[in-house]
Amino acid sequence: QSVQTQPPSASGTPGQRVTMSCSGGSSNIGSNTVNWYQHLPGTAPKLLIYSNNQRPSGVPDRFSGSKSGTSASLAISGLQSEDEADYYCAVWDDSLNGYVFGTGTKVAVL
C-alpha cells in the first residue's frame, strides 16, 4: 500500500531541471526521514537520496532532495537521457509500522 502520493509523470528536455513531489502525513514524512529510489524496469532499484537530502557516494550532484513538514521533493538538474526511469519516495510509517513506498513518478526525457 502507498500512503505517499506522487505525480504519475514528469518530463523535460535534456539540460532542464525537473522536480517531483511526495506528499504524506504526520505518521510518515512528518515523523521520519525520506529516501528516494531510481528504478529502471528489469533492474534493481537504486538508492538516490537518503535521510531527506543526502547522496550516497557515486550519485551525481544533479540529484537533490528536500523535505518540509509532511512533504518531500526530488529535483534533477541538467536532465540527461539516462535519467529516464521511475522514481519512488519511501519512508517508515509509524501508524502502519512498516516501510512504505510512494506511488512513483515516471520521468521522460523529451
Site of interaction with other proteins (CB under 8 A): 1-2, 32-33, 35, 37, 39, 43-47, 50-51, 56, 86, 88, 90-92, 96-104
For residue 47, give Cα distances in angstroms to 15, 16, 29, 83, 87. 22, 22, 17, 14, 10
Shortest Cβ 39–other proteins spacing (Å): 7
Is 74 within 8 Å of 86 (Cβ atoms)?
A: no
Which three three-digit cell numbers place residue 69?
513538514
Closer residue to other proteins in complex, CB, 13/97? 97
**Which helix H or strand E contains 66, and what residues bound it?**
strand 63-68
Shortest Cβ 65–other proteins spacing (Å): 12
Return phi, psi of residue 50, to 5°: -125, 160
Closer residue to other proteins in complex, CB, 13/99? 99
Closer residue to other proteins in complex, CB, 76/91? 91
Shortest Cβ 79–other proteins spacing (Å): 22
